[in-house]
Amino acid sequence: MSLEKTEEIDNNTEFKLISQGNTAEVYLYDDNKILKLFRENLPIEPIIAEYEKVKRIQLKLNNVPKAYEMIKYRGRYGIIYEKIIGTDMIKNMLKNLCNVKRYSKLLARVHYELHNTESELKFSVKSKLSSEINDVSILNEEEKGRIKSYLQKLPDGDALLHFDFHPGNIIMQSNDPVIIDWMTACTGSPNADVARSWLLLQYGELQHANWAVKKLAHFFERYIGKIYIREYMRLSGISDNDFKQWILPVAAGRLTEWISDNEKERLLRLIRKELSKSDLYIFDL
């Protein structure tokens, strides 16, 4: 994609902020569209990659917001997306805790159906993780070398992977789940994607919340994770070890992301515990 064709929006135009995350802010663009405006310090390459990936994925899946165009606004790049009317799965769970089990099972079913979609993306999960592991500064070269060597022995695959699949990235539009935030999408074994989701639900942490809210959120995420993985295993027929064998490289790759120091320390302990084992295919999590 040529950035020369990217439309520049008048800097004096004001948009209403409706949500934000680590990599981007989301604004209301018009009645039917939203603007995902990426943060200034984010490299252009992953933004272009997200736009091009979603353009391909939306031809395969119906439950994906349409990407219309890339724009530039106040020195930052963004993507204009179809506006999805609804609330994310986490908010739906918190509205009525009786719905937690039902939505956790739905999370697994949506993920399983996604993995039955053959990917046309060229970027493999092994290439993605290997590149991320190279960039981890708090692991030494010997540790990174062992993890990458182990990664290459894991099974390949050609399934479409979201690789940031969690309840916050599922919008319930009426009763239909819509999957958002495809920046990390890649191709490979579904077990790698399941391992990533399990890890997010077991170790993920809200960064902008007080201690009590973090503890409460962590409790519910672990509960959701248990139901999700049990339902996914029932649907797919995979074993516990099938996805857990991916935990080591997935956890190492996670260390390159904007996560809290506490989560980083917990992941580092997990990684070094696994590296201390003589047989890396045996996990005790």
Confidence of residue 34 (pLDDT cuts 50, 70, 90): very high
Secondary structure letter of residue 118 according to DSSP: B
Higher-pLDDT residue of 209 and 192 is 192
**% of the chain at pLDDT higher than 70:** 91
Place of tokens 């070094």: 272
Mean pLDDT of the chain: 91
Place of tokens 């996990």: 283
Confidence of residue 208 (pLDDT cuts 50, 70, 90): very low
Whether 283 shows a pLDDT value over 80: the answer reads: no
Lowest mean pLDDT among 80-94, 141-155, 206-220: 206-220
Whether 279 shows a pLDDT value over 50: the answer reads: yes
Q: Which pLDDT belongs to residue 212?
A: 44
Angle at 29 between CA 28 and CA 33, to 5 degrees: 90
Q: Hey, what's the torsion of the CAs at 136, 137, 141, 147, to 10 degrees? A: -30
Average pLDDT, integer, range 79-88:
96
C-alpha 33/C-alpha 52 separation (Å) is 18
Q: Which pLDDT belongs to residue 67?
A: 97
**% of the chain at pLDDT higher than 90:** 78
Q: Which pLDDT belongs to residue 213?
A: 44
Secondary structure letter of residue 124 according to DSSP: B
Secondary structure letter of residue 168 according to DSSP: G
